[in-house]
Amino acid sequence: MNNNNQRFFWLDIIRGMSAIAVCAGHLRAMMFVDSSDLQTLSLLQKIFYGLTGLGHQAVIVFFVLSGFFVGGSILRKKTNFKWTD
């Protein structure tokens, strides 16, 4: 793997982690009560709700990186770009 592909590999890992964060937030919303409905939160619960509450930020990261990958592939083709490809 050359250096350029390795850099994209890590960006792709970040994109995958952001997709998992979005899924975790949706699963938490379906399976658990909202943290505001709990009277007290333990440290473990605060960490759980904090990590699974990053869905909105993760969506932004996912779409920015997806745009980077799609836009980059279009720019690499330069004059050979066709919408049908």
Return d(Cα 68, Cα 8) in angstroms, integer. 10
Strand, coil or helix: what is 85? coil
Return d(Cα 43, Cα 16) in angstroms, integer. 27
Higher-confidence position of 49 and 70: 49
Return d(Cα 77, Cα 82) in angstroms, integer. 9
Higher-confidence position of 18 and 72: 18
- Whole-prediction pTM: 0.74
Q: What pLDDT does 37 receive? A: 87
Q: What pLDDT does 38 receive? A: 87
How does pLDDT run across 11-67, given as a tens digit for each residue?
999 999 999 999 999 999 999 998 888 889 899 999 999 999 999 999 999 999 999
C-alpha distance from residue 71 to each of 2, 16, 55 (Å) = 21, 18, 24
Return d(Cα 26, Cα 52) in angstroms, integer. 8
